[in-house]
Amino acid sequence: MLAPLFAAIRADPALLRQKQPDMIRKLQTQATNTDAQGTGNKVTDQEASFATLLEAHGFAFQPKQATATATTATAAATVPGKYYNYQVNGSQRSIDFRAFEHNGTTMTRHIDLDLKHTTSDVFFLNDGWFHKDVVYIVTWDRRTSAPRKKKTSEPATLIALGQDIPSPEESACMEELLAIKKKYNTEFKGCGSLSTYIRFANRYKCDRFTPEETERLYGRVAV
């Protein structure tokens, strides 16, 4: 479903670094109600570039207002075709996009995607960790120069499933931390007038995404 789009990104990572002001305005207002507050966070250039690519590959934008009263996130898509939603679960929660096929009655296939861009070699995980079966698209500048030499870099893109990205050691560490988070968020009631809630703002380094590892991880993505 997304194989041609992913191939285009892999062939030219600059496609996700375009200025798309019209698409930014479209996504910000969810395209249906100009009086609405729209999305909570500003639409990024990366997100607008990706939405532009989706539409270039035949996907039609379905704003959240169109499905606000529907029983499913895609119930309003009554015309058979390919569609995409933006910020399905809100502005600060995964996922950023859902691309799906609809037969006029029900959604027949979907791919959930989360986009990350960094001008350094570290990106943030809004929900603290990677989600299973979500395709992560990470853009950054991969260093090509040797240590202690004048820094040179090239645009790089990772396309990988959430469960495939972390190492076994990293996954084990997060399982322990998530158990602690769950315990305190469900059992600890705060102190006096203080109500507490633990939320992660974890970061992840791109240094392990070598060209070989990037290629291996992409090979596990069913598109």
Domain coordinates in residue numbering, the chain: 3-167+203-218
What was the pLDDT predicted at 77? 62
Q: What is the pLDDT of residue 66?
A: 57
Q: CA separation (Å) from 63 to 95, 137, 180?
A: 15, 22, 37
Report which secondary-structure segment, H or E, holds 61. Answer: strand 60-61
pLDDT attached to residue 76: 55
- Strand-strand pairing, 60-61 and 97-102: unpaired
DSSP 8-state code for residue 194: B
Which sign does the torsion angle of CA 101, 103, 109, 112 carry? Answer: positive
pLDDT of residue 33: 45
The pLDDT assigned to 65 comes to 60
Task: Please give the pLDDT value at position 88.
Answer: 84
Q: Cα separation of 143 and 121, whole Å?
A: 9
Give the span between the Cα atoms of 102 and 125, in whole angstroms: 30
The whole-number pLDDT of residue 78 equals 74
- Angle of CA points 78, 71, 88, to nearest 5°: 85
pLDDT reported for residue 183: 93
Which has the closest alpha carbon to 16: 26, 28, 5, 27? 5
pLDDT at 40: 54
The low-confidence residues of the chain, meaning pLDDT below 70, are 31-40, 65-77, 91-92, 223
CB 153 within 8 A of CB 207: no
Residue 223 has a pLDDT of 67
How much is the pLDDT for 42?
A: 86
pLDDT tens-digit map of 50-98 = 999 999 999 999 987 654 444 455 445 679 999 999 998 876 678 999 9
What's the CA gap between 133 and 113, in Å, rounded? 9
List the structure tokens of 52.
Answer: 């532009």
Determine the pLDDT at residue 167.
96
